[in-house]
């Protein structure tokens, strides 16, 4: 297997200009994603974690080139795909598929399951007739659905089954990367586990890489190898999953982990309550997390943005409490 990461994002930014006055003269720049960098090795899962509005879905859509980044670089399989277009982009897109949060909304209710899964087989491989039908049957089997489901419509299925259809449709074009945007958050807890198990099995079977977008850290712990915590469009902590859960260093990560329900209520973990939400006014300068930070703040928390630095091997943190002189990346 190649050592080149399947997906690499370098200093990716997506900014939106907002008109601030009635006459449209004053403009503000909203930084949905701000200088984000990470790499995703083949066959592995990277979790992008953060509250709603932290920029995680925007990163996923930029990686797929569904929205254009303002700056930065996206490399897929070693190729810079930041500016490719037309047929070249379409060919690349078949290697990268997205699974959405709401399975019902992502399936065309007027098409049968056979037509939904068969559509990309026609578009990408010009597969038709019996060969397409056989391939759809095979995909139904792979995702745990039955042959008789071929002629049914999405509304006849449960949320978990609809998500399986979405996964089968994505697998139809034999992708290398799946971008999973909160794929289980609309499902019942018992069904969530089944879909997560299916994703885990498919990853082993087809050597898939996953970019797993979620706000649910317990789900992230089950599926991910690496985790990037996002706050207001920036990565604030990035490490392998065990490090994040056993030695979180950023106060935001610590607060999110402390909020995960424990099986034993007397387990002794103290919950850190985050003050306010992401809508708190973003400070004009200094650490973006400062208005909600629960730890003793340093003088320069209010004045300097903490750079993202490597505090130990493969563990990056953006907080003035954890300085590092050697590996600063901002």
Q: Which residues bind ligand SF4 (CB under 6 A)?
A: 251, 287, 289-290, 293, 295, 297-298, 301, 306, 319-321
- Return the number of the residue (187 or 301) whose C-beta is nearest ligand SF4: 301
Comparing CB distances to ligand SF4, the nearer of 157 and 289 is 289
Choice between 124 and 294, CB closer to ligand SF4: 294
Measured CA to CA, the distance from residue 59 to residue 305 in angstroms comes to: 21
Write down the H helix ranges in the chain: 56-63, 86-93, 103-106, 113-125, 129-142, 159-171, 189-206, 217-223, 241-246, 251-258
Among residues 145 and 293, whose Cβ is nearest to ligand SF4? 293
**Helix/strand/coil for 292:** helix
Distance in Å, CB of 103 to ligand SF4, minimum: 36
* Cβ proximity to ligand SF4, 163 vs 316, nearer residue: 316
**Residue 268 beta carbon to ligand SF4: minimum distance, rounded to whole angstroms:** 24
* Smallest gap from residue 302 Cβ to ligand SF4 (A): 8
CB of 312 to ligand SF4, least distance (A): 17
Least distance from C-beta 328 to ligand SF4, angstroms? 14
In this structure, the strands spanning 7-19 and 27-40 are antiparallel
Which CB atom, from 111 or from 298, has the smaller least distance to ligand SF4?
298
Please list the residues that pair with 98 across neighbouring strands.
179
- Bridge partner list, 27: 19
Q: Which is nearer to ligand SF4, 152 or 320 (CB)?
A: 320
DSSP string, 85-129: -HHHHHHHHTTEEEE-S-HHHHS-TTS-HHHHHHHHHHHHH---H
**Which residues fall within 8 angstroms of residue 275, CB to CB, at 6 or more apart?**
291, 292, 294
Question: Which residue, chain included where needed, has tokens 């799946």?
Answer: 178
What is the Cα–Cα distance from 213 to 183, expressed in whole angstroms?
A: 8
Longest CA span, the chain: 70
The least distance separating ligand SF4 from the CB of residue 133, rounded to whole angstroms, comes to 56
Choose between 53 and 286: whose C-beta lies nearer to ligand SF4: 286
Beta carbons of 161 and 194 less than 8 angstroms apart: no
Least distance from ligand SF4 to the Cβ atom of residue 245, Å = 19
DSSP 312: E
- Residue with the two structure tokens 């019902």: 104
* Shortest separation between residue 309's beta carbon and ligand SF4, angstroms: 12
């Amino acid at each position: 297997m190649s050592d080149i990461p399947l997906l690499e994002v370098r200093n990716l930014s997506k900014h939106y200009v907002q008109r601030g006055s009635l006459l449209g003269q004053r403009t503000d720049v909203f930084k949905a994603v701000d200088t984000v960098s990470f790499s995703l090795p083949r066959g592995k899962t990277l979790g992008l974690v953060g509250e709603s509005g932290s920029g995680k879905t925007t990163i996923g859509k930029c990686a797929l080139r569904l929205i254009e980044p303002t700056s930065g670089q996206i490399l897929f399989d070693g190729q810079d795909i930041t500016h490719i277009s037309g047929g070249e982009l379409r060919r690349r897109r078949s290697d990268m598929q997205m699974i959405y949060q709401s399975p019902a909304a992502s399936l065309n209710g007027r098409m049968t399951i056979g037509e939904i899964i068969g559509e990309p087989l026609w578009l990408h491989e010009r597969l038709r007739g019996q060969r397409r039908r056989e391939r759809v049957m095979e995909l139904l089997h792979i995702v745990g659905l039955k042959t008789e489901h071929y002629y049914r419509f999405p509304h006849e299925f449960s949320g978990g089954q609809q998500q399986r259809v979405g996964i089968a449709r994505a697998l139809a074009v034999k992708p290398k990367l799946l971008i999973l945007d909160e794929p289980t958050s609309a499902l019942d807890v018992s069904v969530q586990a089944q879909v997560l198990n299916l994703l885990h099995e498919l990853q082993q079977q087809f050597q898939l890489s996953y970019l797993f977008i979620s706000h649910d850290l317990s789900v992230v712990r089950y599926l991910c190898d690496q985790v990037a915590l996002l706050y207001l469009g920036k990565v604030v902590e990035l490490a392998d999953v065990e490090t994040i859960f056993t030695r979180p260093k950023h106060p935001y990560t610590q607060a999110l982990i402390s909020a995960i329900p424990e099986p034993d209520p007397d387990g002794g973990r103290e919950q850190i309550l985050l003050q306010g939400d992401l809508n708190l006014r973003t400070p004009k300068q200094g650490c973006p997390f400062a208005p909600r930070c629960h730890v003793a703040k340093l003088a320069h928390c209010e004045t300097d943005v903490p750079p993202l630095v490597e505090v130990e091997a493969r563990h990056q943190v953006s907080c003035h409490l954890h300085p590092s002189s050697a590996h600063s990346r901002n």
